[in-house]
Amino acid sequence: MSEDQIEADIAKSEEIEMKKDPLEKAKEKLRAEQETVHEDPDKPYVDIKIPATGVVGKTCNIKFSEKVPFAQVAISQRIEWKKRDKYDLKAKPEMVCTAFFIQDYEDVKEIKVTWEDIGYFKEKAVNNLMAGEYLVEARAYTKQAYEETNAKRLVQVSKDG
């Protein structure tokens, strides 16, 4: 392979990378590592750890570095690229999920959520959750506005471990 051909291949791959859908770019980033946002970056409130993988029927352990008075978890497979506030003209589009599971917790250091979506078929409970990617968002906060930490990660859930 000549140098010119190698340079042309590199330029072509860079062009393809630039044309990637912004949602796909954001997903790739969240697959690699979780995104954590502190309300006050100079004084982070708490650290949150969300696992990268899960198994249907098993537990997902979301851990906080210390006990928090209030926490919230949202899990979704429906992920869209849009503005959180459509009326804010200066807002930039971001990855937004429409959660099928939202739960509030009080005074916790760890949250355990089972990977399941229980439905009923012929009067028997069945786990409707399918293997795939799920966006998990965790939030820890107090009554003080500046004490808040948000974390999100794309978790790969499989049928068997």
Domain 3-158 has CATH 2.60.40.10: yes
Entry pTM: 0.77
The helix (H) or strand (E) run that includes residue 75 is strand 59-76
Domain range list for the chain: 3-158
Span of 23-27, 120-124, 129-133 with lowest mean pLDDT: 120-124
Residue range 81-92, pLDDT digits in tens:
888 788 888 888
Buried b (16+ CB within 10 A) or exposed e, 108-139: beebebebbeeeeeeeeeeeebeeeebbbbbb
Residue range 50-70, pLDDT digits in tens:
999 999 889 999 999 999 999
